């Protein structure tokens, strides 16, 4: 059987028992593949890279070197959770790279969505390669490739516009979850003891909040996206919708409108709320958010996010719209 085809006899991992057996098998396989060598991993905090990190920590402990790049476009609390879970709780050998200024400075004035993606992808590779070169004797690179990545893009993790590492960084790949589907990765993640909200979190694009701050990204508008997104996620979780709705997030378009506060006119940004359901992101329908919940979210955003005077709801399905605004 070619080495990128899932064994048709492989049972679907849908229970703790099957996940435990898979973990044991992979721990042995990883140890055999890498021996006493160090392995590098870009740890974003997404489901796939988090599960791979937890598996490798179990197999080789500090020989796994995780690099977490903060590009300034992550959601509120995301980097903090990666550090808490992996460094503090699992004892990972974790390098945190604060590259916020580098990314945001390079994005100043860039309006075109694909250009924004290219810049974010390129700087990510540059930052990661710089960190990789600082560490001696690294032969292996772990990746959170999953089976749909292989089926859809012949093994290249389908992050739009992100190129490969430079040629001199020629690593052997370690891809322990490459034959798993997303639901199986989640079951394995829970069996490894990762937090439920990390394992069942909604899809989050590589360019992060950058595509939810349409047009040229500015730091003030980016903060409005981050703060309103945090409120939306908190209220969805309180309403028991976490893990039930495919994706829900906020957008802050690059225009202002008039409002009134304390008897004075304001001229501020608007927040757009978007919540969609989907099976595989190729099409999407609108989650019908109940009005009482919408009003609660609206009230919190207007009261807590300074610089917003209007809250809108995007009810456009895919097609004709896309899920993200860019």
Select the span of 185-193, 228-236, 300-308, 317-325 touching ligand XMP (CB under 6 A). Answer: 317-325
DSSP run (H or E) holding 60: helix 47-60
The answer to whether residues 23 and 188 touch, using CB atoms and an 8 Å cutoff, is yes
Of 227 and 324, CB closest to ligand XMP = 324
Tell me the residue length of the chain: 326
Instruction: Label residue 119 left, alpha or beta by phi (over 0 means left) and psi (-120 to 50 means alpha).
Output: alpha
Helix, coil or strand: residue 132? helix
* Residue 159 in contact with ligand XMP, rule: CB under 6 A: yes
Residues 239-258 that bind ligand XMP (CB under 6 A): 247
Helix, coil or strand: residue 161? coil
Cβ neighbours, 10 Å, residue 293: 14
Of 72 and 206, CB closest to ligand XMP = 206
d(CA 238, CA 296): 11
The answer to whether residues 196 and 266 touch, using CB atoms and an 8 Å cutoff, is no
Residues 13-52 that bind ligand XMP (CB under 6 A): none
- Least distance in angstroms from the C-beta of 114 to ligand XMP: 9
Phi, psi for 232 (deg, rounded to 5): -60, -45
Of 274 and 298, CB closest to ligand XMP = 274
- Least distance in angstroms from the C-beta of 208 to ligand XMP: 9
Figure out which of the listed residues 56, 69, 231, 323 binds ligand XMP, where binding follows CB under 6 A.
Answer: 323
Of 235 and 324, CB closest to ligand XMP = 324
Of 61 and 203, CB closest to ligand XMP = 203
* Residue 75 in contact with ligand XMP, rule: CB under 6 A: no
Report the sign of the C-alpha dihedral through residues 177, 182, 188, 190, in that order.
positive
Figure out which of the listed residues 72, 189, 207, 214 binds ligand XMP, where binding follows CB under 6 A.
Answer: 207
Strands 264-277 and 247-251: antiparallel
Of 191 and 209, CB closest to ligand XMP = 209
Residues 82-111 that bind ligand XMP (CB under 6 A): none
Q: Which residues here bind ligand XMP, judged by CB under 6 A?
A: 117, 159-160, 203, 205-207, 211, 247, 281, 318, 322-324
């Amino acid at each position: 059987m070619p080495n990128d085809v899932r064994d048709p006899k492989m049972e679907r991992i849908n229970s703790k028992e099957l996940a435990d057996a898979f973990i044991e098998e992979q721990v042995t396989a990883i140890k055999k593949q890498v021996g006493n060598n160090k392995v590098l991993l870009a740890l974003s905090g997404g489901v796939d890279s988090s599960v791979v990190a937890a598996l490798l920590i179990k197999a080789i402990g500090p020989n796994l070197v995780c690099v977490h790049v903060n590009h300034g476009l992550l959601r509120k609390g995301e980097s903090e959770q990666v550090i808490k879970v992996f460094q503090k709780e699992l004892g990972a050998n974790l390098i945190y790279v604060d590259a916020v200024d580098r990314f945001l400075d390079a994005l100043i004035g860039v309006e075109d969505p694909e250009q924004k993606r290219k810049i974010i992808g390129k700087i990510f590779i540059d930052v990661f390669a710089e960190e990789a070169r600082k560490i001696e004797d690294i032969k292996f690179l772990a990746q959170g490739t999953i089976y749909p990545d292989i089926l859809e893009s012949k093994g290249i993790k389908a992050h739009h516009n992100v190129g490969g590492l430079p040629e001199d960084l020629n690593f052997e790949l370690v891809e322990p979850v490459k034959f798993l589907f997303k639901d199986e990765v989640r079951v394995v993640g829970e069996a490894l003891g990762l937090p439920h909200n990390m394992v069942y979190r909604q899809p989050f694009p590589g360019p992060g909040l950058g595509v939810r701050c349409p047009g040229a990204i500015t730091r003030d508008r980016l903060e409005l996206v981050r703060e309103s997104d945090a409120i939306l996620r908190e209220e969805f979780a309180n309403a028991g919708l976490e893990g039930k709705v495919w994706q829900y997030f906020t957008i802050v378009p690059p225009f202002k409108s008039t409002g009134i506060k304390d008897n004075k006119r304001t001229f501020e940004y608007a927040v757009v709320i978007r919540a969609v359901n989907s099976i595989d992101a190729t099409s999407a329908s609108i989650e019908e958010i109940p009005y009482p919940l919408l009003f609660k979210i609206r009230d919190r955003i207007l009261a807590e996010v300074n610089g917003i005077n209007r809250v809108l709801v995007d009810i456009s399905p895919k097609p004709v719209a896309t899920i993200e605004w860019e």
